Amino acid sequence: MISRSNRYERWDGSQEPFGRDAEDLFDRLAEDLFQGGDFDYALHRLMSRGWRDRQGRKLPGFEEMLERLRQKRLQQLKRYNLNDVFGNIRERLNDILRRERQGINERLEQAPESAKRVLQRITKKKLQELDRLPEDVGGAIRELNDYEFMDEGAAQAFQKLMEELKQQVSQTYFKNMTRTMQQLRPEQLGEIKEMLRALNQMLRDRLEGKPPKFEQFMQRFGHFFGPNPPKTLDELIQHLERQMAQMESLMQSLSPEMRQQMQDLLESTLNDPELQEQMAELAAQLELMSPRPGLGSRYAFYGSESLPLQEALSLMERLQGIEDLESALREGYQGRQLTPEQSAQLQQLLGSDARQAADQMSELASQLEKKGYVQRGRRGMELTPRGMRRIGQKALRDLYTRLKRDRFGDHPISVRGLGSERSDETKVYEFGDAFNLNVEQTLMNALRREGPREPIRLKTDDFEVYRSEFSAQSATVLMIDMSRSMPLRGYFYAAKKVALALDALIRSQFPRDFLQVIAFSDYARPVKSHQLAELTYNESIYGTNIQHGLMLARQFLNRHKTGNKQVIIVTDGEPTAHMEGQQAVFFYPPLPETFQKTLLEVQRCTREHIVINTFMLDNDYHLVSFVKQMTRMNGGRAFFASADRLGDYVLLDYVDRKRKASR
């Protein structure tokens, strides 16, 4: 007996997030595959719906998280409006203008009589300038930039307002950069414009397919980008695009009148034609490089709470963060992992359960790749041969587990193994194998895995057993009805699962036997072992062409020189199609000719000593009548099996035939 000890430790994010849960999740993916479809679709469904972990906690799927993010965004849109983003700026401007008018009047009152006449002309002109100021904030600031204040306090207040606006605008465009960029002081403008010219040239080179000189750019201007500058041009582009998108989103979300005011405000704040030109070129080039139709998104606000400009820009940042998270979650379907910053933001918005689920789902495809179950192909995530074998083993294990719990009829089964002789060959232990352990090889597998150490720790994959095999070799064709009624009645799941289980049984227990699966509807077609896991149906196809299936079955069985040949038919209806040359003919109700041609093919199988056993999933009178004719002619057997017991009958019947053949 092998002792087993458990060691527990606090989760710190570095451990493998799944462990045995990865196996459980793969088994859940297998359940989806039994229903039809491909692995990539099954993985997509699992990521969409989420799952329960071993503690029974429901972990949300991507669709639930996306919906919760949409609700977060909707809450912001329903709460706020952008009808008065310049309200606080307008109030400060009004205070500055009041102060200026008051200062003008005080200067006039305090002036000596000899200077009053001249001063009156000056103050009259000043007051007329103030009266002619545009009503909108942007236009007023543009005019006041060239206005010479008479009141020193008003001049200082206006200068302070302009510095704050410059800082707000520059922080929007150049967040996380140095204070030089954020303050936009006149003495630094020359170097800033030089940096923007070099940046625009680098982006032009990228667009024209020329190699951009990123290293030289960073050597010269890296000090603008703070203590953690971008490592690549792509990082720099992504950062700038994200920042400029905030202002673009605000501009698009404003009314046309307020958008013009915002444009005037930006021009007045930057107040340098060349700087404005370089910024406009930068925005245009970033928009060309962006995979999205525009840098920013338009948001339709309809709330009652007004926001000032700075808070409106912060709101754009939050909404953009939600959008970025939504995009990242959608890319998670392709195995893209969230960045640490995105994971933290997801936890802040939706809670720790969402972060845990997203981190696990981002890692799921990678974990399954490491285990060798899947690989990336042209259609997305695809099953490897090892993954297909595991799915077949799950189907077999599911059936064996229930048989052990719920035996029935005269079909005993031994859970200790099915073989009658021990072979000299060994294999890795799989569920259902006889536990004829090769101790030496098992220990060697553990040593190869972990190296020489004490004590030797065994894992399930280390166990190696002797193969058990029957002396009698057989060839089998499993014909699965793929007509439209099978999925509509819920039978396809059972038929596909029994095909996978039978394939796994023969591969693990009877490796000398031959199996061919044939799917039939209007036409029949062979299905290779590696295609079984992703076998699916087409509900738009009509017809049950058993004749064509038997034709292909005979061709397969005649290639094998064994005396034990059988066809297993799984169907829910009588034949409704037959072959006319190379063309399938379908009629419902079926033609007498369809029955005749199908029975003729049964006769040919009988002459070639091929036994036909039929498993009926429906007790329809016409189906039962036809199967009776077929069994009388061939000597095979017929079973009525409900969908939930189909696998029990097919597997037990196969094993029972093997026992009888080996005696």
Residue 595 has pLDDT above 90, yes or no: yes
Residue 467 has pLDDT above 80, yes or no: no
| Residue partners of 354: CB distance under 8 A and separation at least 6 | 60, 65, 68, 346, 347
Please give the C-alpha separations between residue 200 and each of 177, 181, 285, 361, in angstroms, as whole numbers: 17, 16, 8, 39
How far is Cα 34 from Cα 39, in angstroms, rounded to an integer?
Answer: 10
- Encode pLDDT of 425-436 as tens digits: 677 776 556 667
Helix residue spans in 212-272 (DSSP H)? 214-221, 233-253, 256-270
Q: Quick one: which of 637, 612, 594 has its CA closest to 554?
A: 612
In this predicted structure, what is the pLDDT of residue 451? 75
More confident residue, 376 or 83: 83
Domain at 391-409+473-662: CATH architecture: 3-Layer(aba) Sandwich (3.40)
How far is Cα 572 from Cα 614, in angstroms, rounded to an integer?
Answer: 10
Please give the C-alpha separations between residue 41 and each of 36, 114, 190, 566, in angstroms, as whole numbers: 10, 92, 56, 34
Model pTM above 0.75: no
Conformational region of residue 112, where left means phi above 0, alpha means psi within -120 to 50, and beta covers everything else: beta
Could you tell me if 65 and 357 are in contact, meaning their C-beta atoms sit under 8 angstroms apart? yes
Region 298-326: mean pLDDT is 87
Ranges of beta strands (E only) in 572-641 are 577-580, 583-586, 610-616, 638-640
And the tokens for 277?
């030109």
- First vs last C-alpha separation in the chain: 35
Q: Quick one: which of 465, 382, 462 has its CA closest to 423?
A: 465
- Encode pLDDT of 204-256 as tens digits: 988 888 888 888 888 888 777 777 788 888 888 887 887 778 888 888 888 88
Angle at 476 between CA 552 and CA 490, to 5 degrees: 80
Residue with tokens 């829910």: 572
| Domain edges within the chain | 20-79+324-383, 87-300, 391-409+473-662, 421-469
Q: For the chain, what is the mean pLDDT?
A: 79
In this predicted structure, what is the pLDDT of residue 19? 45
- pLDDT tier at 98 (50, 70, 90 boundaries)? very high
Q: Quick one: which of 595, 656, 658, 663 has its CA closest to 627?
A: 595
Q: Quick one: which of 77, 130, 85 has its CA closest to 103?
A: 130
In this predicted structure, what is the pLDDT of residue 99? 92
Helix axes 87-110, 137-144, angle to 10 degrees: 40
How far is Cα 215 from Cα 233, in angstroms, rounded to an integer?
Answer: 9
Q: How many residues does the chain have?
A: 663
% of the chain exceeding 90 in pLDDT:
11
Cis peptide leading into 455, omega within 30 of 0?
yes
% of the chain exceeding 70 in pLDDT:
81
The partner residues of 527 in beta bridges, in order of sequence, read 517
| Residue partners of 26: CB distance under 8 A and separation at least 6 | 368, 371, 373, 387, 390
Q: Quick one: which of 261, 262, 249 has its CA closest to 298?
A: 249
Number of H helices, E strands in the chain: 24, 16
How far is Cα 385 from Cα 647, in angstroms, rounded to an integer?
Answer: 23
What DSSP letter does each residue of 485-537 carry, written as one string? HHHHTT-HHHHHHHHHHHHHHHHHH-TTSEEEEEEESSSEEEE-GGGGGG---
